[in-house]
Amino acid sequence: DIVMTQSPDSLAVSLGERATINCKSSQSVLYSSNNKNYLTWYQQKPGQPPKLLIYWASTRESGVPDRFSGSGSGTDFTLTISSLQAEDVAVYYCQQYYTTPYSFGQGTKLEIK
Amino acid sequence: EVQLVESGGGLVQPGGSLRLSCAASGFTFSSHWMHWVRQAPGKGLVWVSRINTDGSITNYADSVKGRFTISRDNAKNTLYLQMNSLRAEDTAVYYCARRDSSGYLDIWGQGTMVTVSS
């Protein structure tokens, strides 16, 4: 099974500042035949289901603000929020969909400093 | 509007059974693989199971294999999760999710709470 590990577990950032969350997979999630990384990022607010932010590691889902961006390849990935807004307070999860089980990272709780 | 609505959760004793349902609307249900994901109170997301478009392929997390059964009725646009031999550690919110044709989970329901306790 692929193990996903996020860092840090929690993060406090000032409004308007950059937030960076890292995700590492125990094996590569890059599929060589199409050169795509099978990695998504979700945002989850209290009492709500996860919301898809990023797929293919760097493709923003329709309607997601452009302050959210994803990067990385192979085993190391990053979610960046370029200018933190109050509504971005949430828990963020990475997930690999390269193979079953579709494993998630443990989550990173993002708060306002 | 594309929508998934789970139902069937509740309180059940250890060793008991429960069947969850997920009603889909706003899209061609029969064209999508579907998944179940759960989240214990205050914990992270854990993948549970998936099923292909016609129900002929199913996969499970090791923690539920042999106890849970995923199925679907494309005529009713509904996904199911039959949960048997329930344990306290199965207590969680259960979400159904749609798999996009590219593989990622793009649409999620609001979830249904399952509590296993005596």
Interface list for A 3-42 with B (CB within 8 A): 38, 40, 42
Q: Which residue, among B109, B106, B72, has the nearest Cα to B93 in the 3D structure?
A: B109
Q: Is residue B67 classed exposed, middle or buried when 0-12, 13-18 and 19+ CB atoms within 10 A define those classes?
A: middle
Tell whether A52 is within 8 A of chain B (Cβ).
Answer: yes
SS3 call for B55? coil
pLDDT (tens digit per residue) in A53-86:
999 999 999 999 999 999 999 999 999 999 999 9
Give the pLDDT confidence of B34-80 residue by residue, as tens digits.
999 999 999 999 999 999 999 999 999 999 999 999 999 999 999 99
**Which of 2-31 (B) contact A at CB < 8 A?**
none
Question: Please, which residues 84-103 of chain B have a Cβ atom closer than 8 Å to chain A?
Answer: 95, 100, 102-103
What's the pLDDT tens digit per position in A34-53? 999 999 999 999 999 999 99
Which of B32, B52, B104 should one mutate to test binding to chain A, selecting the residue with the greatest count of A CBs within 10 A? B104
- H/E stretch holding B58: strand B58-60
Q: In three state form, how does the secondary structure of B19-43 look?
A: EEEEEEECCCHHHCCEEEEEECCCC
Which residues in chain B have Cβ-Cβ distances shorter than 8 Å to A38? 103-104
Dihedral of CA atoms B97, B92, B43, A112 in degrees, nearest 10, equals 70
- Cβ distance B45 to A97 less than 8 Å, yes or no, reads no
Rounded Cα–Cα distance for residues A4 and A93 (Å): 10
